[in-house]
Amino acid sequence: MLLVIDVGNTNIVLGLYMESKLIRSWRMSTGENRTSDEMGMFIYSLLNHSQNEPEKLENIIISSVVPNIMYSLTNGIRKYFNLTPMVVSKKMKMNITLDQVGERELGSDRIVNCVAGYKLFGGPIIIIDYGTATTYDAVSGDGRFLTGITAPGIKISADALFSRAALLRNVELELPSSLMVKSTVESVQAGVLYGRIGETEYIVNRLKKELNCPNTIVVATGGLAQTIAKGSEIFDHIVPGLTLEGLRLLYEMNIGD
């Protein structure tokens, strides 16, 4: 069994693979103050509680955009699993080529998404990740990273609105069926989510034009991808677990090195 761990700014997502099949996944908050014992014991208990014997784990691969958590996480894994985890880096073997911008600017989560998107669907491709930030990454038909765009995440944008407007309260991010809204809650939902749909469609269409490729594949991932997809037909594929799949693929590309 292989455990893949995606450490994001807001959440840590874990996936357990049996060969190429994802058999379980979990989500926990990203806490930078946890000790190695807390990290290792918690992950061990997740596997144990789900009746997946931790002793049968063969390896672990980690992608992280939170450097401060890595010491506790990697040492906890060594202590409780007796394994040294593989950590995603730009030096790994991969099926895409990074240019100087990609080498300098791309976080490991975005590299993993590009690896997975290109492997699963080919290119040219645009991968959109609706996470803490909303990111747009483009890969050419021959696997070259072309450009990456970063926008504020949907939840961050909503939280900023609620914190600055005293009469607005936090609402669930569900897409209204129409812009003809009748309540404050729906008004906020429409503004936040249809606004992001408009941003997505403009950036994707502009990228397709600048790439001179109207048939570029568009893939969405991240926690709110399916919510956004309810209001737009611009996506070719919705893959919520794209990052986990990319981690598995990267592991297979680099096992034995």
Active site amino acids: 109
Helical H runs in 122-194?
154-164, 184-189
Closest CA to 123 of 207, 240, 55, 58: 207
Closest CA to 60 of 222, 257, 255: 255
Only one residue has tokens 């693929």, namely 249
Q: Contact at 8 Å (CB) between 174 and 189?
A: yes
Q: What would the two tokens of residue 223 be?
A: 């926690």
Within 10 Å of residue 165's Cβ, how many Cβ atoms? 10
Beta strands of 157-256 (E only): which ranges? 217-221, 237-238
> Given its phi and psi angles, is residue 256 left (phi above 0), alpha (psi -120 to 50 degrees) or beta?
left
3-state secondary structure (DSSP) of residue 48: helix
